[in-house]
Amino acid sequence: AKDAGRGVFHAYEPALHVQAEERRVLEVALRGALEKGEMHLNYQPVVDAGTGVLKGFEALVRWNSPDFGSVSPVKFIPLAEEARLIAPIGEWVLRTACDEAARWPSEVRIAVNVSADQLQNPGFVAVVASALASSGLPAGRLELEVTESVFMHEGLGATKTLERILDLGVRLSLDDFGTGYSSLGYLSRTRFSSIKIDRSFVQGASKGVKEAIAIIRAVVALAQSLGMATTAEGVETEAEHEMVQELGCTKVQGYYFGRPLPVTEARELAIRSWGA
């Protein structure tokens, strides 16, 4: 497309160039972020929908860059995936979360997000085993959150890796359910403990969107029949809590119950809820 539409390309080139340049600079910064200690984890409460009792926390990574300020994981996780930095970042998140959770009351679980790329690495199972061993966290208190995209690209590679993770005694939950891949076959192949219903459905349902309500109902029924829990994500109001509870969701997470917390506050909440 060198000759064709030269003028058109010219018009868009500067913007594209700036974007590529910004990404490159961000990537360089990201490469050094871990060793410079610029990353930390926040922990968002996950509570029982009926009783409001604290069940666990989801670890959410944060990057405070001296040059770029606070960069959202929505931006830097995809960048880390493309720049092949997700393995070291993901391993650091997992080890840090396990180390921390090992100091919480034993009733409180920790959920860690795992990107599809991490599961492509056959060494990942050993990393999980090592994070458990070195932290002393019992496997049953660790839950790995994976999205449907894990099942998208290859055949059964991811399924086999997940099987070996389950063999360790670690739980799996299916994150952002309904936003990605649209086949349900993998649900019968992989033993998930819970399905997380994306915030977009919770929001839609609370605005009275019939389709969103129907989808939540269907997911809850599906999960129940497969013996899985359902977590409604992004619950921001009392009305939304009541709604998802009536729809049968078993766990809830969202600003209404708590924002992602710094580690010391998360531990204090855990101890207030369950005792030291």
- The Cα–Cα gap between 221 and 11 comes to 52
Q: Which CB, 114 or 247, lies closer to ligand C2E?
A: 114
- The Cα–Cα gap between 211 and 195 comes to 18
Secondary structure of the chain: what % helix, strand, coil (to 5)? 50, 20, 30
In contact, 257 and 48? CB cutoff 8 Å: no
Q: Using the rule CB under 6 A, is 61 a contact of ligand C2E?
A: yes
Instruction: Considering only CA atoms, give the Rg of the chain.
Output: 20
- Nearest CA to 94 among 56, 140, 135, 151? 135
186-225 positions binding ligand C2E, by CB under 6 A: 199
Q: Using the rule CB under 6 A, is 162 a contact of ligand C2E?
A: no
Out of 91, 143, 148, 175, the residue judged to bind ligand C2E by CB under 6 A:
175
Out of 73, 105, 157, 204, the residue judged to bind ligand C2E by CB under 6 A:
73
* Least CB distance to ligand C2E at residue 143 (A): 12
Q: Which CB, 59 or 220, lies closer to ligand C2E?
A: 59
Out of 60, 102, 139, 209, the residue judged to bind ligand C2E by CB under 6 A:
60
Q: Which CB, 17 or 240, lies closer to ligand C2E?
A: 240
- The Cα–Cα gap between 229 and 192 comes to 9
Q: Which residues make Cβ contacts (< 8 Å) with residue 117, sequence separation at least 6?
A: 81, 86, 87
Instruction: Give the helix ranges, DSSP H, for 184-262.
Output: 185-189, 199-206, 210-225, 238-246
Out of 70, 72, 182, 264, the residue judged to bind ligand C2E by CB under 6 A:
72
21-50 positions binding ligand C2E, by CB under 6 A: 44
Q: Which CB, 101 or 235, lies closer to ligand C2E?
A: 235
Which of the choices Ca ion, ligand C2E, none does residue 188 contact, using the CB cut-off of 5 to 8 A by kind? none
Question: Can you say how many angstroms the Cα of residue 62 is from the centroid of all Cα atoms in its chain?
Answer: 13
Which residues here bind ligand C2E, judged by CB under 6 A? 44, 60-61, 72-74, 77, 90, 93, 113-115, 175-176, 199, 234-236, 254-255, 260
